[in-house]
Amino acid sequence: MRTALVTSSGGEYSVTVGAGVSGSLGNSLRSLFPGLRRLGIISNPVVWSLHGPSILSHLGADLRTVVALHPDGEPAKTMATILALLDRFIEERWERRDPFLVAGGGVTGDMGGLVAGLLLRGVPLVHLPTTVVAQVDSAIGGKTGVDHPLGKNLIGLFNPPRAVLSDPGFLRTLPLAQRRAGLGEVIKYAFIGDRALFTLLSERIEELVSDDFHAGLWEEVVFLSSADKAGIVSRDERESGERMLLNFGHTFGHALEGAMGYSGILHGEAVALGMLSAARISGAMGLSTPATFGAIRDLLRRAGLPVTWPGGISFEHIAPYLGRDKKSSRGQVALVLPEEPGSVRIVRDYDPALLSQGVFS
Ligand SMILES: NC(=O)c1ccc[n+]([C@@H]2O[C@H](COP(=O)([O-])OP(=O)(O)OC[C@H]3O[C@@H](n4cnc5c(N)ncnc54)[C@H](O)[C@@H]3O)[C@@H](O)[C@H]2O)c1
Ligand SMILES: [Zn+2]
């Protein structure tokens, strides 16, 4: 097991990655919360039916648990679900000293983190992420939230966890399409600064999307990516500077998801295309050579991710969504543009006409 540390406004916490994380779950929770007597578990029926029994078996018999399952999927990431989860724990007469374990993908993590932040003005939480996206991204950094009909993640708060426990073994049951989409975010870390990860992916990316699950390689990839995110959010928790780099691929990615009504494309697939959009714009501005675009496309292709825009989606379709990005300031969205593998640049002043270069066939 390996650990990366995060410093946050809520204190320091560790992200532990390794196959042994699940087996020592009970011990980890007891050392984080001495005197632990009751644990709230937030999960969903898909994750819980696959992994609930083993999670419970690792907690120890003397621990009381209250398991609250929310409906699966992004459409359930709403305030209505948050209120139902709050109801459940209020009816259980929850107390502030009783922590939550949030077990699932990014949807579960974002909602579990919000519920923990709201209930009784704050109940401590531990993330047990079970998807690639959750392990390398959403469980780290303290962002929580739900969607609003007018946009994704518009309601939420910063609520850092007390620990993140990542067992890559959970990824064994993840559908291959979800594993591939998670690699979209992993490739992002390689391009925004992690040259070691870039080398590893360049050598072995096919093994990460093969039918048999390469546990050791996944552990390495999850750890390197987690350490990248841990470092960035430690240096810039509230996204005033460096954290913006994590938005690489997301400006066009989010706009594409919006234009498609958040269906028919996974987030990581949209990010994959968004990274190519950024590379096209960077090329048009003279900040990168065609080799950079080629390097991104090559990795995406080998991971089985899309490299051409979905038919029927033109720049006119996505343009209204570009300005809506939460990261925009004064109407002009800041672009995170690749220079070469391992190096990106934030560009705020540019000719808006260049944005149309981001949609390509
Ligand atoms: N807070 C942040 O910083 C942050 C960062 C990135 C993404 N997000 C959010 O994360 C969400 C996307 O996360 P996601 O991709 O994990 O989606 P998700 O949580 O919907 O999980 C994808 C699917 O996989 C299932 N699943 C989870 N673990 C599994 C396992 N081990 N085996 C089999 N199936 C499993 C889920 O039930 C779901 O059906 C979005 O809502 C996004 O906004 C948040
Ligand atoms: Zn993302």
- Cβ of 153 closer than 6 Å to ligand 1, yes or no, is yes
Residue burial 323-333, b: 16+ Cβ < 10 Å; e: rest:
eebebeeeeeb
Fold entry, domain 2-174? Rossmann fold (3.40.50)
> Do the first three CATH levels of 2-174 and 177-358 match, i.e. the same topology?
no
Kindly report the protein residue whose alpha carbon is nearest to atom 13 of ligand 1. Answer: 106
The phi and psi torsions of 165 (rounded to 5 degrees) equal -115, 105
Calculate the average pLDDT of the chain.
95
Q: State the catalytic residue, choosing from 77, 267, 280, 297.
A: 267
Determine how many CB atoms are found less than 10 A away from the CB of residue 76. Answer: 17
User: Does residue 329 surpass a pLDDT of 60?
Assistant: no
Catalytic-role residue among 229, 237, 269, 280: 229
Using DSSP, state whether 196 is helix, strand or coil.
helix
267 catalytic per annotation: yes
Residue 236, CB-side half-sphere exposure with 13 Å CA sphere? 11
pLDDT of residue 328: 56
Chain segment 244-272, per-residue pLDDT in tens: 999 999 999 999 999 998 889 999 999 99
Measured from the Cβ of residue 239, the count of other Cβ atoms closer than 10 Å reads 18
- Which tens digit of pLDDT belongs to each residue from 178-236? 999 999 999 999 999 999 999 999 999 999 999 999 999 999 999 999 999 999 999 99
Question: Is 345 a catalytic site residue?
Answer: no
Q: What architecture is domain 177-358?
A: Up-down Bundle (1.20)
**Six-digit token string for 186:** 């992993």
Ligand nearest to the CA of 103: 1
Exposed/middle/buried for 11, CB within 10 Å: 0-12, 13-18, 19+? exposed
Amino acid identity for residue 179 in this structure: R
Q: What are the C-alpha distances in Å from 331 to residues 27, 34, 180, 274, 324? A: 49, 49, 33, 19, 8
Domain ranges of the chain: 2-174, 177-358
